[in-house]
Amino acid sequence: MSEIGLYSILIAMFLAAYSSFTAVVGIKKRRGEMIASAENAAVAVFGLLSLASVALIYALVTRDFQIEYVAKYTSRSLSTVYTLAAFYAGQKGSLLFWGWLLSLYTAIVIFQNRRKNRKLLPWVLAVMMAIDFFFVVLMVFVTNPFERLPYMPLDGQGLNPMLQNPGMIFHPPTLFLGYVGFTVPFAFALAALITGQLGDDWIKTTRKWTIISWLFLTAGNLLGMEWAYVELGWGGYWAWDPVENASFMPWIVGTAYLHSVMIQEKRDMLKVWNMVLILLTFLLTIFGTFITRSGLIASVHSFGESSLGWMFLAFLVVTLIISVGLLIYRLPDLRSKNQLDSLLSRESSFLYNNLLFVGIAFAVFWGTLFPIISEAARGVKITVGPPFYNAVITPIALTLLFLMGVCPLIAWRKTTLKNFGKKILFPTVVSAAGAALLYVLQIRSLLVLITLALCIFVSINLFLEFFNGMRTRHTLLQEGYLRALWNLVARNKRRYGGHIVHFGVVLLFMAMSGTAFNTEKQITVNKGESFKIKQYLLKYEGLSEYPTAGKERTVATLTVFNDNHKVGVLSPEKALFRGQENPTTEVAIHMTLKEDLYVILAGYGKDWATFKVLVNPLVVWLWIGGGIMALGTVIVMLPDRRKRKQSISKDTRAEAI
Amino acid sequence: MKPKFKPILISLVVVSVISYLIYTGIRDTMTYFLTVSEVLAQPSENQDQTLRVGGNVSPGSVQWDPKNLRLLFTIQDEKASIAVDYEGVVPDSFKPGGEIIVEGTYTGDGKFKATTIMPKCASKYV
């Protein structure tokens, strides 16, 4: 079976090169049958890489330990779910997964564009297959997932215990789906630059790809945060580690792009800027892969330093040169006919938000690379950590939050200051009153007060958008209120879906402001003793041992009282996985809408145990906010009912402010 | 020309503000990342500074008091070693002989008071 995998990737490599090359020759010589052949070859690459993936999964499931990858990431005692997850748990498998996803996306793109974009498609195909070729070459020559050991080990080394968490099942694939997805708009952008078809066809065609990729990247990052929170056991969910930054940067630039393309669609402006953003988003996904796999930057996650990182660097440089070269070549054709009419207009507010998004990305980029930059420039390694990111990004992010609230108040093209003042007055007064109330309720941190006031400000404006739109429909079209609300959203999915996403973002900000009030305590107690943290009383009941096939668990039991009401039992534990030297800490969390009670078993003896306990306010709103963002994004993507769109959108444009 | 000029001006202001934030952010929060030998090479300069130090946990040096969550160990490179004093939860990936980064203050005489320890986990995830 593994031979099948080996030959599959080998043939896939030749076919990917053939497809890319033939597509270009086909369009140059105007030979339709060559383009068709290139398309077929690309579909065949998808088939072969699927076969290779199945072969690797088969080897994993059947525990074919002679394959080095299988021996390294699985063991006989590993459960089936994590055995399947081992497919993308290691470098080699994850490259195969990446290459396979890219070939799948290519096949879908070919299918979607059978009858449209025929001028762009060969170039899109050439770009995507060239990228896939790079990945398959790595698999064939550098890190072959089907490499065999000279002997047959009795058992494998097993999967790192930290990866044996439900997070492992969802986080990596989601992130990969997003990462790889941005290749599609990138390929279309390059094709547009090459062919000179610089209208917004490429943007419209790839709109859904962009949104889906963004959705996956958002979900992937949030799932990673959730995983870090429950698994790494330090009580937080984001540490500005280089690996986190690597996936944060393309996400933030992708977010900027999602916003700025709307300006091109509506006003035919910012063409160069949009090109730059999408090229940058893709380059940052490769850059992220490079820094995480080269071992260039010291990270808590050790990513097995390998030569692979440098190949990604070479790939990055080549892609960068091609992208920038093409962009400069087409610069004269990308001039926009329209100009900003006013500084106080919807367009300008998008421009500002873009500058801020890119500003955040740049700050993160600079902070991540600073150790290298300082070493090169001054010969000393200087690192920056969370305090740097908090100091720089907090003010920018809060400004973005403000813009998010202001944007719906500003009309396209131009708003008069007087009109704007009238609209902003009510939300400002309410949010100021809200902040005053919070102050009375003993919330004294200025930063938190500002954040929460802005959250109120944005929420009111979002609510008014829905409310006013609904009322107008009710009055003008005599629809019932619920019906009016439904129709309002259903007929303007992009706009109101976007508002829902924004409301999710408000919840994220609210959740993050909670970190200002984190409380923690470290304590050693004897069996039967109790201790307090805030209003919680925890009684230590004792330790129990549970040996299972895969691991040896030591579980502490604590009864938890909240203001003297028993709310449950928490069981933090340490588990020693077979074949591992170090125990794995499993935290226990009592989660409520108000706060999380987070308990770590730090050490234990015969009759005593030492705990680290944290009370983290509002954490659950991160996951709720993330869910709402996903819901809004899905609404944005739902297809429109074409026929009635025209007439309705006319009067909603008049009515919805 | 005027309408075109204004957005550029505002963009410049935004860019300058962000650059200023980055500049001051780095200035106020930067931490030197040194090897064990580099710390000991300039003991007086590094005294009482917040530093990050990278090295390996010396095998056999680890003393763990689980009741008080106090961890004493030495980190070393090829030439020198420093005694580290840390209080708190020990990350799962900490192990003698392993690579580690400690953050804290160099208190002189080859001693380091760590606030954070970051073992490089032998994480097998790519």
Examine residue B22 and state whether it is found in any structural domain, yes or no: yes
> Mind telling me how many Å the CA of B93 is from chain A's nearest CA?
7
Contact B89/A234, CB-based, under 8 Å?
Answer: yes
Instruction: Return the SS3 of A514.
Output: helix
Longest dimension (CA), chain A: 84
Residue with tokens 């421009």: A351
Would you call A163 and B10 a contact, using CB atoms and an 8 Å cutoff?
no
**DSSP one-letter code for A313:** H
Chain A residues touching residue B24 (CB < 8 angstroms): 391
- CB–CB contact A382 B118 (8 Å): no
- Per residue in A381-399, pLDDT (tens digit) is 898 989 999 999 999 999 9
Longest dimension (CA), chain B: 73
CB nearest B69 (choices: A94, A301, A603): A603
The pLDDT, as a whole number, for residue A407 is: 87
On chain B, the residues whose CB falls within 8 A of the CB of A246 are: none
- Give 10-residue mean pLDDT values along chain A (657 residues): 92 97 94 94 98 96 94 90 92 93 97 90 96 96 92 87 86 94 96 91 89 96 92 86 91 95 85 93 92 68 63 93 96 80 80 93 94 87 91 96 91 80 89 93 92 96 94 91 93 93 97 93 93 94 86 92 92 84 88 95 90 95 97 92 49 41
B46 shares its domain with B84: yes
* Chains A–B, number of C-beta pairs less than 8 Å apart: 166
Residue B36 and residue B24 share a domain: no
CA-CA distance, A652 to A645, in Å (whole number)?
10
Do residue B26 and residue A384 have CB atoms under 8 angstroms apart? Answer: yes
Phi then psi for residue A299, to 5 deg, are: -130, 155
Parallel, antiparallel, or unpaired for β B81-87 and B111-119? parallel
How distant is the alpha carbon of residue A160 from its chain centre?
Answer: 23
Closest CA to A347 of A275, A256, A267: A267
First to last CA, chain B: 53
ipTM (interface predicted TM): 0.90
Distance, CA of A52 to CA of B126 (rounded, Å): 20
Q: How far apart are CA A21 and CA A31, in angstroms?
A: 13
Residue B126 located in a structural domain: no
Residue of B nearest to A366 (CA): B22
Task: Give dist(CA A586, CA A148) in Å, integer.
Answer: 35
The span from the CA of A149 to the CA of B64, in Å, is: 39
Q: What is residue A653's predicted lDDT score, i.e. its pLDDT?
A: 41
Pairing of β B70-76 and β B81-87: antiparallel
A252, exposed or middle or buried, with CB in 10 Å at 0-12, 13-18, 19+? buried
Which residue from A minimizes the CA distance to B65? Answer: A603
Is residue B122's pLDDT more than 60?
no
* Long-range residue pairs from A57-61, CB within 8 A, at least 24 positions apart, any chain: A57/A84, A57/A87, A58/A1, A59/A1, A59/A2, A59/A5, A59/A146, A60/A84, A60/A86, A60/A87
So what's the pLDDT on residue A296?
67
CB B103 within 8 A of CB A142: no
Whether residues B47 and B59 fall in one domain: yes
Q: Report the distance separating Cα B90 and Cα A227, nearest Å.
A: 19
- Residue A382 tokens read as 């200087």
Angle between helix axes A201-231 and A242-267 (nearest 10 degrees) is 150
Angle subtended at Cα A251 by Cα A638 and Cα B123, rounded to the nearest 5 degrees: 120
Look at strands B50-57 and B31-35 and give their pairing.
parallel
Q: Phi, psi (5° rounding) for residue A543? A: -110, 150
Q: What's the predicted TM-score (pTM) here? A: 0.92
Phi-psi region of A158 (alpha: psi -120 to 50; beta: other; left: phi over 0): left
Quick one: angle between helices A201-231 and A183-195, nearest 10?
A: 150
Cα separation, A59 vs A566, in Å, equals 49
| Coil/strand/helix, residue A556 | strand
Cβ–Cβ < 8 Å for A604, A576 = no
Instruction: State which H helix or E strand residue A589 sits in.
Output: strand A588-591
Q: What does the pLDDT look like over A206-248, one tens digit per residue?
A: 989 999 999 999 999 999 999 989 988 788 899 898 888 999 9
Cross-strand partners of A575: A553, A584
The reply to whether residue A612 touches residue B68, judged by beta carbons under 8 angstroms, is no
| CATH number of the CATH domain containing B88 | 2.40.50.140
Question: Tokens at residue A150, please?
Answer: 């000279």
**Could you tell me the CA-to-CA distances from A596 to A185, A234, A432, A517, B91 in Å, in that order?**
40, 13, 28, 12, 21
Distance (Å) of CA B4 to CA A414, A432, B1, B8: 15, 35, 6, 7
Contacts of A348 in chain B (CB under 8 A): 7, 10
Report the candidate in A269, A157, A289 with the shortest Cα–Cα distance to residue B123.
A157
Residue B95 Cα, gap to closest chain A Cα (Å): 8
Q: Are residues B86 and B104 in the same domain?
A: yes
Number of domains comprising chain B? 2
Q: How many CB atoms lie within 10 A of CB A566?
A: 11
φ, ψ of residue A556 to 5 degrees: the values are -95, 145
Is A60 within 8 Å of A74 (Cβ atoms)? Answer: yes
**Nearest residue on chain A to B22, judged by CA atoms?**
A392
Instruction: Mutation target for B interface from A392, A398, A413, A522: give the one with most B CBs within 10 A.
Output: A392
Helix (H, G, I), strand (E, B) or coil at A411: coil
Rounded-to-integer distance, Cα A140 and Cα A10, Å: 7
Q: Does one domain contain both B69 and B14?
A: no
**Which residue among A162, A233, A382 places its CB closest to the CB of B33?**
A382
Torsion of CA A417, A421, A424, A428, to 10 degrees: 130
Nearest to A599 by CA among A568, A558, A636, A631: A558
Is the same domain home to B67 and B21?
no
How far is the C-alpha of A243 from the C-alpha of A304, rounded, in Å?
Answer: 13
Looking at CA atoms only, how far is residue A489 from chain B in angstroms? 33
Cα of A650 to nearest chain B Cα, Å = 29
pLDDT of A654: 42
Closest-approach residue (CA) in chain B for A378: B32
H helix or E strand, kind and range, residue A648? helix A642-655
- Nearest CA distance, B30 vs chain A (angstrom): 5
Which 8-state DSSP code applies to residue A163?
Answer: G
Residues of B in Cβ contact (< 8 Å) with A521: none
* Residue A154, φ and ψ in degrees, nearest 5: -70, -35
Tell me the nearest-neighbour CA distance from A498 into chain B, angstroms: 25
Distances A25 to A14, A20, A30, A31, A499 between C-alpha atoms, Å: 16, 9, 8, 8, 46
User: Domain ranges in chain A?
Assistant: 1-164, 386-515+624-655, 518-620
- Token look-up 């984001």 returns A238
Residues of A in contact with B89 (CB under 8 A): 233-234, 522, 585, 600, 602, 612
Report d(CA A22, CA A484) in Å as an integer: 53
Reduced to 3 states, what is the DSSP secondary structure of residue A338?
A: coil
Query: Rounded to the nearest 5 degrees, what angle is found at the Cα of A303, between the Cα atoms of A302 and A308?
Result: 150
> How many CB atoms are located within 10 Å of the residue B65 CB?
12
C-alpha to C-alpha distances, A551 to A158, A585, A586, A589, nearest whole angstrom: 12, 12, 13, 21
3-state secondary structure of A565: strand
Cross-chain residue pair B21–A395, CB shorter than 8 Å: yes
- Do the domain assignments include residue B93? yes
Mutate to test the interface with B, among A70, A273, A301, A400 (most CBs of B within 10 A): A301
Range of the domain at B22: 1-29
Any idea which residue has 């709109």 for tokens? A207
pLDDT of residue B105: 93
Q: How far apart are CA A406 and CA A462, in angstroms?
A: 10
Contact criterion met (CB < 8 Å) for B67 and A605: yes
| Bridge partner residues of B74 (DSSP) | B83
